[in-house]
Structure 1
Amino acid sequence: MANLALKRTKPQPDIPDVWIPLEPTEGRRAQKLARSGAITRVAAGVYVNAVDPEKRASDELGPVALLTRRHWQFILGHIAPGAVISHLSAISSGITPGNEITLSHPTRFNTKVRLPGVTAVFLPGPGPLPGDFPLGTSGLYWSSRPRQLLENLGRVLKANPRTTGRAGVEEKLIEILNASGERALNAIRDEARALTDPLGAQDRFETLNQIIGALLGTYAKGSLVTRHGALVASGTPADKERLGRFTILADALRATPLPDLNDVAATDPSRTHFAFLESYFSNFVEGTRFSIKEAEEIALHNKIVQNRPKDSHDIQAVFQMILDSRYRAVLPTAVDILDGLRERHRQMLENRPEVSPGEFKTEVNFAGTTRFTEPAFVRGTLLEGVKLANSVPEGLPRAIYWAFLVSEIHPFSDGNGRLSRLLMNAELSRCGKCRIIIPTLFHDEYVDAQRALSRGDNPAPMIAALGYIAKWGTAFNYGNLEEVIDVMQRANSFQEDRREFKLLMPEQLARN
């Protein structure tokens, strides 16, 4: 019996994680596999390529629930196309503490769909409105920030809340004010006003308007209900510790000789092949993992992987930004650094509304024990930090400064590593120098070098690491994509364990 249970829990090799058969023959095969215990039916016409073991703890999520929760957007997009992630789910990034997903739908509401590990709760509300984000190709939408706030001003249920209520909305507005300034609150108010009629939210808009007015000082402070609201103050404070660290790096970059490496992939097809590899590695080390062949189909042939549409769009977005003349060789100036970063972040992650593309973070983020800049200090630290950039020599020195500036502040909830590398390489392209590829095997060394500066105020390892890898990238011929991938594979670029493998230069391959 134990052997049977073990066999039944193995995924089927030719079936995706979530399978929604479209043809009758596929449907009959899926039903047969489900009856045999090879896969699991989780909803009408929806199957997951997993089976729960016969014995597991009652409070433990099994493989079926874990797979369902991972792909809930794809599943619910099939069940209720056109539904909008709304209310508590929209403001809390998806699955709520009560293991629910709240959605609005104009005709399908006051109902629940129970799936393994999560329950979809459909609430009355219109379909997608102006400002709502399509969730890739799932068929779902994510409500805009103004809509989220208006909907969360609804009644709070004590037993199983599906809105945050006034206190939660006020806290969110304070986070937005600290992260993005007064202009962001005024924009939210203007956009919310236009949604009042479609949402039937006149009373809720008046409440929202009152809270925003109080936070901006145009209404009495007594309008606020939270302690943070009463204490909020305007301004752009900066992270003094990090500004000191930026000065240390800038001083070191002015004093350290670095290679001057002309662009070896300035014209097509080399330019496009380099851009693809840059995007592939930059996404891979951040967890967006495809085989190199899959990524090639996505970036160069616009082939979206059905069960991973957002990951596919991540590959495409970075690739397209590398080639886009608006971003490839252009950096934000000191006066437009805030809008410039937000624009690039929005462009890069426009298919991931759950990470608030184009909006500075509202919660502090971490990497291990490193605590990045507090949300309230992001704007001020960027404004002051970018002023130092022009004091650093152009080309590779200034590119290193840009990479560390964005990475060290971590101004967004997600995508900071990719954004830092895009800005680093924009400086190099601006000067006609070769862009930098950070291969998988080198990524840990790069992170360790950053950590030496972040935690020990030692800039030497980071300068040395980027100086070396910049030279490494110029040693390849990017004219033939298949050939350069083969050489990079033999150079161990795609490996992950630097204790077992060493990153090689192409000329070393003949000797190894």
Structure 2
Amino acid sequence: MNTRRTAHIPPHAAGVYLAEDFTSTRARQRQVQSGVIMPLARGVWTDAVGAEPADVVAAKWQEIVGRLLPTAVISDRSGFALRPVDGELFVSHPRSTPLRLPGLTVYPDGSKDHRRPDDQPLDLQGRLFASSPVRALIDNAEQRGRPGYVRRRLTREELHDQVVRIVTTYTPAQVDSIMASVDRDVNKVAAASIRVFVEAARGECRTVATTSRAMRAAQRRETYDAARVGLFRRFAADLTRQKLVQRFVESVSRAANVPFYEAYFSNHIEGSTLDVNEAERVVFGGEDVGKPGDAHDMRGTWQIVSDDAEMGRVPGDAEEFMDMLRDRHRVVMAGRPDKSPGMWKQGANRAGTTTFVDPAHVVGTLRAGWEEGEALSDPFQRAVYMMFLVSEVHPFEDGNGRSARIAMNGELIADRQHRIIIPSVLRSDYWSALTRATADHGPHGLYRVLDRAQRWVSLGDFSTLQAGSRYCLVTDAMYDAGVAERRGKYLRILRPGEIDELPVPSMAELGDETDTTKSWVEIAAREASPSARGRRSGDPTADRLADRHDHG
């Protein structure tokens, strides 16, 4: 080995040495004293001087275990992951006492006959081996062990999870081959148990009582995306550590037209080309504005979000939740029959580098996701969770973002709290926060964006369309996110009463001559028009809110 002192060596590039690697004990001691190496564990040294010992072990555990326990087989509860989990690694090896390393304890089983023909080497030297899937199944199906001692084998629930993973990730032919080997194993009792578990995971029988969500779903022939469900579990746990947010609706009249802006912005951030004037004519006048697709989307979304009874409906279980999702989607997408309104997607969908849940796993993943969020009791936290759940599964061919935000606001409306609206200026922040949550960076960024969006709604005057549009203008809410970034605009949060002190900005002040901006200014600047009072849409809810608009 190199006997000269070297620059700092990162853990992944560290050298690991045993006593046999040194010419003498004295030579080793000199290198320790000169700072060339440092002790890592009993009988183990490394040249990553100054590094955290646990970091070196985490990077070099295969080499260390292979050298200290030659021919060891990673087995028992480690036999599926084939790596340390929670600082523990279980192996089959003649040694009977634990091997304790910084950040890792290795538990050998003391077996003298620890190798099997189908074990696979993990290194070229043949010092460390991996259990085959057959061995991992048999080892964990055996229910032996010393009470009170460290549990070497998976619980029944954990074993059922692994059986389902094998059945859903391996090809049918591969599973058949594994089962043929299981049937030939000398441990006939364990083999018989595995056979029953595999048949249950394949949906061929429903006789296995289990606490495993994966196995229950499989017996219903309802598989789910295990990685996504793990993400939902962590997301829900992290949500409980966020600050509580409560903003109750104190003035129903000031919030009267919030549903209109919710529907408008929810479609606009998805690419709708309707300006706010056209959206008003579609919703309150039933007019043809020459954009049939966008008009159908606006009206469909409006029909749901303006229905107080529907939006306040709280599902009692996963079945009701999924039925409600489809019912609402059927209305939102009614004008797009080619997008399968109210039906789960049949093809895969993606956005950028994100691939959403496979169509075959939609129902199971929604059910499991619902269960992961059941413990959340705070309405705002539940709102954030439900939005993320639906967005992450993407259960429909189209309209998933709108469905997610409707599910979000349903949780708030049921508790008489202000809705969350994502205005155009927040679009980039919203998508960015969603992307970070998808990448398992937690809910903090998304929580912060939605908190700001709800605060903006709670401070606004939406008693009429004129008042609401004025509020959107003076707070810069209507700016396209890209335009806002170039001009240094952001969503302004005003003090109570401050809006009354600010005039409606002119087109020159806005510096934007587009038809979209003109429509905002036109609505905000006009007085309630008597001529508008005879207009009816044929929708009782729309007519009721139109009266609020007309009579202010």
TM-score by length of 1: 0.52
Contact 1:248 1:459 in 2 (8 A): no
Alignment deviations for residues 1-46 of structure 1 (CA, whole Å, 9 cap, x no partner): xxxxxxxxxxxxxxxxxxxxxxxxxxxxxxxxxxxxxxxxxxxxxx
The corresponding residue for 2:234 is 248
SS of equivalent to 1:446: helix
Q: Name which of 487, 493, 498 aligns with 1:505.
A: 493
Alignment deviations for residues 432-467 of structure 1 (CA, whole Å, 9 cap, x no partner): 101111100101101111111101332211111111
Aligned residue identity for 1:328: M
Contact 1:274 1:478 in 2 (8 A): yes
Q: Name which of 288, 293, 302 aligns with 2:277.
A: 293
Question: What is the distance in 2 between the residues matched to 1:487 and 1:463?
Answer: 23
Pair 1:476-2:464 in alignment? no
Quickly say closer, same or farther: Cα 1:265–1:311, change in 2 above 3 A. Answer: farther
Contact 2:383 2:407 in 1 (8 A): yes
Q: Name which of 272, 283, 292 aligns with 1:309.
A: 292
Task: Report matched runs for 1:117-128 at 5 Å.
Answer: none
Aligned residue identity for 2:417: K
SS of equivalent to 2:427: helix
Contact 1:262 1:434 in 2 (8 A): yes
Unaligned runs of 5+ in 1: 1-177, 179-215, 218-232
Q: Could you tell me how far 1:302 is from its partner in structure 2?
A: 2.1
Quickly say closer, same or farther: Cα 1:457–1:475, change in 2 above 3 A. Answer: same
Question: What is the distance in 1 between the residues matched to 2:245 and 2:323?
Answer: 32
The corresponding residue for 1:387 is 371
Contact 2:303 2:332 in 1 (8 A): no
Contact 2:349 2:397 in 1 (8 A): yes
Alignment deviations for residues 125-153 of structure 1 (CA, whole Å, 9 cap, x no partner): xxxxxxxxxxxxxxxxxxxxxxxxxxxxx
Pair 1:435-2:423 in alignment? no
The corresponding residue for 1:122 is none
Q: Could you tell me how far 1:399 is from its partner in structure 2?
A: 0.5
Contact 1:264 1:434 in 2 (8 A): no
The corresponding residue for 1:322 is 305
Aligned residue identity for 2:247: L
Question: What is the distance in 2 between the residues matched to 1:390 and 1:431?
Answer: 16
Aligned residue identity for 1:317: G
Q: Name which of 348, 353, 363 aligns with 1:364.
A: 348
Contact 2:238 2:442 in 1 (8 A): no
Q: Could you tell me how far 1:326 is from its partner in structure 2?
A: 4.3
Alignment deviations for residues 69-99 of structure 1 (CA, whole Å, 9 cap, x no partner): xxxxxxxxxxxxxxxxxxxxxxxxxxxxxxx
Stretch deviating more after TM superposition (245-254 or 324-333): 324-333
Question: What is the distance in 2 between the residues matched to 1:366 and 1:315?
Answer: 23
Question: What is the distance in 2 between the residues matched to 1:495 and 1:388?
Answer: 37
The corresponding residue for 1:491 is 475
Pair 1:420-2:408 in alignment? no
The corresponding residue for 1:29 is none
Contact 1:406 1:420 in 2 (8 A): yes
The corresponding residue for 1:258 is 244
Q: Could you tell me how far 1:419 is from its partner in structure 2?
A: 0.6
Aligned residue identity for 2:307: D
Q: Could you tell me how far 1:320 is from its partner in structure 2?
A: 1.6
Question: What is the distance in 1 between the residues matched to 2:287 and 2:494?
Answer: 31
Contact 2:296 2:336 in 1 (8 A): no
Task: Report matched runs for 1:66-465 at 5 Å.
Answer: 235-264=221-250, 266-267=252-253, 270-305=254-289, 307-332=290-315, 333-465=317-449
The corresponding residue for 1:71 is none
How many corresponding residue pairs? 281
Quickly say closer, same or farther: Cα 1:404–1:474, change in 2 above 3 A. Answer: same
Contact 1:265 1:478 in 2 (8 A): no
Aligned residue identity for 1:457: H
Contact 2:362 2:393 in 1 (8 A): yes
Q: Could you tell me how far 1:258 is from its partner in structure 2?
A: 2.5
Contact 1:487 1:506 in 2 (8 A): no
Question: What is the distance in 2 between the residues matched to 1:438 and 1:343?
Answer: 23
Contact 1:265 1:434 in 2 (8 A): no
Q: Indicate the RMSD between aligned Cα atoms, in angstroms.
A: 2.4
SS of equivalent to 1:412: coil
Alignment deviations for residues 83-118 of structure 1 (CA, whole Å, 9 cap, x no partner): xxxxxxxxxxxxxxxxxxxxxxxxxxxxxxxxxxxx
Aligned residue identity for 1:320: Q
Question: What is the distance in 2 between the residues matched to 1:264 and 1:282?
Answer: 24
Contact 2:233 2:373 in 1 (8 A): no
Percent identity of equivalent pairs: 30
Aligned residue identity for 1:299: V
Question: What is the distance in 2 between the residues matched to 1:433 and 1:411?
Answer: 27
Contact 1:237 1:380 in 2 (8 A): yes
Q: Could you tell me how far 1:260 is from its partner in structure 2?
A: 0.6
SS of equivalent to 2:418: coil
Question: What is the distance in 2 between the residues matched to 1:447 and 1:465?
Answer: 10
Q: Could you tell me how far 1:323 is from its partner in structure 2?
A: 2.0
Q: Could you tell me how far 1:348 is from its partner in structure 2?
A: 0.9
Question: What is the distance in 2 between the residues matched to 1:301 and 1:272?
Answer: 18
Aligned residue identity for 2:241: A
Aligned residue identity for 1:503: L
Q: Could you tell me how far 1:313 is from its partner in structure 2?
A: 2.0
Q: Could you tell me how far 1:316 is from its partner in structure 2?
A: 1.3
Unaligned runs of 5+ in 2: 1-167, 169-202, 205-218, 506-552
Contact 2:231 2:440 in 1 (8 A): no
Which one has the largest radius of gyration? 2
